Structures are given as structure tokens and as C-alpha cells.
Amino acid sequence: MFARGTAMHSARKGSPNTGSHTSGDKFDRFEKWLRDNGARFDQLEIKVYDDGSSSSRGRGDDSNEEKKDTVTKDDGEESEMRGVHALSHIPPNTLVMTIPRKCLITVEMGQATPIGQAILNSDLDLDAPKHIFLMVYLLWDRKVNGTNSFFYPYYEVLPKTLKNMPIFWSMEELAELNGSYLQQQIADRNQAIAEDYRAICEVAPQMRELATLEEFKWARMCVCSRNFGLQIDGHRTSALVPHADMLNHYRPRETKWTFDEDRQAFTITSLQHIGKGSQIYDSYGQKCNHRFLLNYGFAVEDNRELDGFCPNEVPLELYVSPDDPLLNEKLEFWTRGEINDKNHGPPGRATTRLQSTHAAEPLGVPPLLKRIRVCVSSNENTRLLFSLLRALACNGPELHALASPVSASCGPIVRGDDRSSSNVARSLFGFPELPSSNSVLTGSPMPFGATYHRSCRDIRHPVSLRNERAALRLLLQIVERHLSAYSTTLAEDETDLLDELAYPRFSNKRHAKIQVRGEKEVLHHFARWATTALEVLDVIEEELQEERGSIEVSSTGRVSVVNHEERPSFDFLIQRMEDDAESRDIGHHTIVRYCADVLGSLRREEFKNIRRQRVLQQEQPRARTSSGRIWRSHEPGSSKR
């Protein structure tokens, strides 16, 4: 919503979608309460937008906009879409908002309530404890102090239903996410909240009197979408900050916020010029749309950074086929790298998970090995994905070469999610130095001479052309399986999103569509990666065949190369892709770098091998047939001289 320059829905008196307005006092009371307690926001005003599908106006156009009125729609529901606008031009570096400490609701305040105390004195293992303490305060204070609460004017302006949050979506709205992993995450979130509620009610039965499960969920989502992580008195905490939580999300950020210890207040400062009437945004961070949707109830139409980076991601599910003759070896090799990995729990856990997945899966479904989040713009996970694919694609000799321990001192692993496309391939497929002559593995820092057990995580660079082809085929298979789960294609989603009547701006239906479109974009990127690379591998294979088969040995023993028909060479192909990359996205650039650098280096190796073998053959005593074929001296028929 509220993307710059587009689709800002304004509340206009008498506009068909807004219906009648109720009194706007609650916003006046809210602002007065803040001012009376020392808050400053003189250049700002809160606006309420129609959250229906009325005609849109550009950012900054404030004519006819209804200030601080509660917009009631035809169905009697209040609009829950508000935002903050500039009353006058704001230059960069202007302090636009100061909210004193006493107007903040902090984690510590929740902990000090009787329910907070009961939770602290229990050994409850809560999902997001800071959020829980904030919501406990909210629910407790609202119930216990009611209209007498210091924070009552704030509670009055909090959104009532939060029906944009996926945990509150109808079945019909959820169905828009068919095929998406987000459906499961929403179900998990619902379950986790219900479990927290039950667990808290057990240690603090008063909770049941404070809130029903539905109210508990409302408070949970209210906190989730509005809290700020702060440092107060040198202590990390979270807080609800009235008014500051009225700013909507936009990137790149144009304001910054902090808790100012000198002022003992939460402050917001502009980072650039903000025009009179313009909406003032806060950045909620660079996030995948599934996180925006799950935690804030919206998806960003074009979730892309200025440099082209797109944080949208998809968890790919990797399986080992039960028909794989190396099933057990691969499972063993696979789980080895999990040990001592903080992301994957204590030793043995991965194996347990594998076994339980085995047990839980219906017959015929391969055991799930891993879910790995990948996005178009390169990151650590794409490296891991390729490692896992290579491990899964190993044949016997490759796996056995990998499975034997090495004694070595290994170079550091290159980390970080390098954005620059020229760094993408380097960071994805970089070859940290390994003193071992084994070209299969990379390593992690370890003392010289220590014995190192490799795991699938170590196969950070390619094993062989054969392995790479098998890994890419596997990738294509995985991606196609994921894509087949959706009921619509990417092209259909793109067309649907053009229809703003069927998919109104800021509707849950549209946000779901944006989410699945983003997932498919990632999947298509990896499909394109695999198909492009497989095509390049075909060309490489032809070149190698030619190199192997074109050796003709004359009667004098001279080796010559036979000319074959014209077809694009590897170099030509890469050049064409590189030229194309100029006008294409960062994803395309990554694919080109992979083909040029990774497949290119495998190709060079293979050519070297062929030439090495040729030299060896020439050095060996050989026999010649009349057709010029080379016979090795030990081959059958070599004695026919």
C-alpha cells in the first residue's frame, strides 16, 4: 500500500466508498494526550484512508483529504488504514517527532503486571517473549484500568479488527495462497499463538478473564505489527510507541528513529526532503514479502531495492530418492555436516528429524532432507543449495572420494551476501584454498594436520561436469515439483494483478496474489538457471566429444584435428549471454557468471584432462591400424603389429 506516487486512498467526505463519517474526536483526544505529556509532532498530521477500492490519488495530493476523521464504510466498519503526512515542507535532518518515555509501553511494564510476573516465575518457553510481555500489558491495562488508563487515548486509535493479518483471513482468502508455503506458516502461527495462550492461562489463570483467544490473537498481531526494538538505559527492549506506529512502510527509508537517551524520548528524524502533504514513511526493513504478509498483513507490489536486490524467497524442499542406490550413504553423508551447526540443533538432531520424517511420510513419498530458503539475488543459502544438490547428485566414486576424511589446514569460507553481481559468482562458487590436491572440496578453518570430515556443506565448488549436470537436473525437477503445486501460472498471476477490480489494491486477495507471484518469480529464476546451464553443458559436451573424437593420426604418426560443422561454441554462447546481461536483471547476471565461471572452469579442466591423456597416449608404445585408430600396447589386438 501507499507505494510512492500511486494508489494512496484518501478518505473523502461523501465519496461513494467511504459512507458517512463518525466524529473524529478520538484522534483529537489522542494528539492532545500526547501533546499534554510533552510529545512534539507539529509538522505532522494523521490521515485516515478509505481501505476500499475507491479511486486513487498520487502521493502528496492532499486536497479534499479528511484529516483525522474516522472513516466508516458502508458496512459500518471503521477504516484501519491510517498514515502520517507532512503539514509543511520538511528538510532533511529535521526532528519530526518526539514521544516522551512515559508515553511508551515497554516490555518491562508487561513484566511488572501480575500475569507478567507469573510468566517470569514459570519456565514457559514462549515463541516471542518480548512481544508477549507487551501484549500482556496491553490486555491487562485495558481490562483493569479501562477508560481510566493513562494510555486510553492510545487504545482508542488502535485498529479494531486487523483483518488484513493472514491469521484472520477467511478460507476464501487463504485459498488464494494455494500452493504457497505461506499457508502452512499461517497455520503454524495460529497454532503457536493458541499454544501460548493455553500455556499462559495455565500459569496465570487471570489471562482467561482478560482476553479470549481471539482477543489474545488480536493483541499478538497488534504488537507484532507496531512494536519497535529499542535500546533504553543501555538495555535492549521493545516498545509500543504511540503515533510513531502510525507511519507506514516504504523503502528506501526516508526517516530514522531511535530512543534518545538525552531527551529521554523516542524520536523520528527526516533523512531527505519531504514535500508538504506527502506521506511520511518508516522502513520496516528489507524483508521477503512472506514476512511482511505474516507480520504486517501486506505484501509490497515491487519488493525490490534500488540496486535491484529482491529479498523475496522460497523454501525449496530437497529429497533423496528412495530408489537411489546410494540412499544410505547419502543420508549418512548428509547428516554429518549438521553436527555442531547452531542453525540445526545439537548433534544427532538432524538424523532424528530424518528418521521421524521417514516415519511420518506416507509410502512412496521420499524423505524430506531439507528446506532451504533461496532468493533470486545471491546469498549464503544459494551456495548451500548447490552444495546440497551436488551431494545429492553424487555417484558412487564421487561420494566415496568425498566421504574419506582429509588432513589439511583449510582456508576461510567466504561469507556474506554479496550484492554486486560480479561478486555473486565469486561468493557463490569461490574456491577457498585447500592445501590438499583434492579438487572436490572446500574447507573450514582448522588447524594444520587436523582430520577433517567432509559434509555435503563442503561441496561448495563443482565436483565434475557429470555431477554438475546431475545437480542441475535435480534442481529443475525440484523447481518443477514446486511450481506444479500452484493452481495458477506466473503469467496468469501477472495478468490477474493488472485487474484492479478483481484484485483491488490493498485487499487481502491482492496481497496473496503478490506473494505467490513473488514465489513463482524465484522458482522460475532457478528453472531458468538450470535450463540455461544444461544447454551450456550440452555445448561443452559436444566440444569435448569433438576434442576426443577428432583426433586423427596419420600414417606418419602426426595428430591432426578434424573440422566439424559450425555450431555455437561455449565462448560464443557466453559472449551472447553477457551481451544480453547488460539489459537484464541481477538474476540473469548470476546465471551468466555461473555458466562462464563455474562451467567454464570445469570445461577447462576437462580439456586439460583430454590433452593430458593424449600426451600420455603419444608417449606410450602404440600400434596403428589401417584406419589410423590408436591402440594401446596393452589393449587386445595390440600384438597384431
Ligand X SMILES: C[S@@+](CC[C@H](N)C(=O)[O-])C[C@H]1O[C@@H](n2cnc3c(N)ncnc32)[C@H](O)[C@@H]1O
When binding is defined by CB under 6 A, the residue of 9, 12, 131, 249 that contacts ligand X is: 249
Minimum CB separation of residue 128 from ligand X in Å reads 16
Closest CA to 509 of 290, 303, 298, 296: 298
For ligand X, which is the closer residue by CB, 98 or 164? Answer: 164
Q: Where are the beta strands (DSSP E) in 399-491?
A: 406-407, 451-452
How many residues touch ligand X under the rule CB under 6 A: the total is 18
For ligand X, which is the closer residue by CB, 84 or 599? Answer: 84
- Spatial CB neighbours of 327, under 8 Å, sequence gap ≥ 6: 320, 321
Minimum CB separation of residue 245 from ligand X in Å reads 4
Q: Which stretch binds ligand X (CB under 6 A): 230-238, 241-249, 420-428, 497-505?
A: 241-249
What mask of x and - would describe binding to ligand X in positions 156 to 195, judged by CB under 6 A?
---x----x-------------------------------
Minimum CB separation of residue 230 from ligand X in Å reads 15
Closest CA to 519 of 249, 165, 184: 184
When binding is defined by CB under 6 A, the residue of 31, 62, 69, 245 that contacts ligand X is: 245
Minimum CB separation of residue 159 from ligand X in Å reads 5
d(CA 61, CA 8): 9
For ligand X, which is the closer residue by CB, 251 or 469? Answer: 251
- Asked if residue 110 lies in contact with residue 116, where contact means CB atoms within 8 angstroms, the answer is yes
Phi, psi of 62 (to 5 degrees): -110, 10
- Identify the DSSP state of 376: S
When binding is defined by CB under 6 A, the residue of 257, 298, 452, 594 that contacts ligand X is: 298
For ligand X, which is the closer residue by CB, 107 or 388? Answer: 107
What mask of x and - would describe binding to ligand X in positions 268 to 297, judged by CB under 6 A?
----------------------------xx
Write the single-letter amino acid at 17: N
d(CA 334, CA 621): 46
Grid cell for residue 85: 503526512
Write the single-letter amino acid at 442: T
Closest CA to 194 of 174, 217, 228: 217
Distances 87 to 13, 42, 69, 541 between C-alpha atoms, Å: 20, 8, 16, 66
Minimum CB separation of residue 268 from ligand X in Å reads 12
* Biggest CA pair distance of the chain: 110
Verify binding: residue 59, ligand X, rule CB under 6 A. Answer: no
For ligand X, which is the closer residue by CB, 475 or 514? Answer: 514
404-423 residues near ligand X, rule: CB under 6 A: none
504-543 residues near ligand X, rule: CB under 6 A: 506
Closest CA to 318 of 375, 386, 376: 386
Minimum CB separation of residue 577 from ligand X in Å reads 36
Q: Which stretch binds ligand X (CB under 6 A): 19-27, 74-82, 113-121, 556-564?
A: 74-82
- Asked if residue 199 lies in contact with residue 124, where contact means CB atoms within 8 angstroms, the answer is yes
User: Buried (b) or exposed (e) across 623-635, using 16+ Cβ within 10 A?
Assistant: eeeeeeebbeeee
For ligand X, which is the closer residue by CB, 82 or 130? Answer: 82
- Asked if residue 560 lies in contact with residue 505, where contact means CB atoms within 8 angstroms, the answer is no
Minimum CB separation of residue 372 from ligand X in Å reads 28
For ligand X, which is the closer residue by CB, 268 or 553? Answer: 268
For ligand X, which is the closer residue by CB, 104 or 540? Answer: 104
Verify binding: residue 226, ligand X, rule CB under 6 A. Answer: yes
For ligand X, which is the closer residue by CB, 7 or 478? Answer: 7
Q: List the beta bridge partners of residue 258.
A: 267
Minimum CB separation of residue 301 from ligand X in Å reads 9
| Alpha-helix runs per DSSP H in 550-597 | 570-581, 586-593
- Spatial CB neighbours of 399, under 8 Å, sequence gap ≥ 6: 326, 329, 330, 333, 391
What mask of x and - would describe binding to ligand X in positions 12 to 41, judged by CB under 6 A?
------------------------------
For ligand X, which is the closer residue by CB, 223 or 479? Answer: 223
d(CA 136, CA 105): 11
User: CB atoms < 10 A from the CB of 377, how many?
Assistant: 27
Minimum CB separation of residue 499 from ligand X in Å reads 19
For ligand X, which is the closer residue by CB, 246 or 375? Answer: 246
When binding is defined by CB under 6 A, the residue of 98, 113, 180, 225 that contacts ligand X is: 225
What mask of x and - would describe binding to ligand X in positions 479 to 508, judged by CB under 6 A?
---------------------------x--
75-94 residues near ligand X, rule: CB under 6 A: 80-83
For ligand X, which is the closer residue by CB, 51 or 196? Answer: 51
Minimum CB separation of residue 221 from ligand X in Å reads 8
Minimum CB separation of residue 80 from ligand X in Å reads 6
Q: Which stretch binds ligand X (CB under 6 A): 16-24, 171-179, 242-250, 445-453?
A: 242-250
Find the residue with minimal CB distance to ligand X: 1
- Identify the DSSP state of 166: G
When binding is defined by CB under 6 A, the residue of 248, 312, 508, 590 that contacts ligand X is: 248
For ligand X, which is the closer residue by CB, 2 or 41? Answer: 2
Minimum CB separation of residue 454 from ligand X in Å reads 45
Minimum CB separation of residue 238 from ligand X in Å reads 13
Verify binding: residue 334, ligand X, rule CB under 6 A. Answer: no
d(CA 628, CA 555): 7
Minimum CB separation of residue 329 from ligand X in Å reads 49
Minimum CB separation of residue 167 from ligand X in Å reads 12
What 379-385 contacts at long range (C-beta under 8 Å, 24+ apart), as own/partner pairs, is 379/417, 380/415, 380/416, 380/417, 381/313, 382/428, 383/427, 383/428, 383/429, 383/460, 384/457, 385/316, 385/475
- Spatial CB neighbours of 38, under 8 Å, sequence gap ≥ 6: 98, 100, 102, 265
d(CA 209, CA 203): 13
Provide the binding-site residues for ligand X, judged by CB under 6 A. Answer: 1-2, 80-83, 159, 164, 225-226, 245-246, 248-249, 296-298, 506
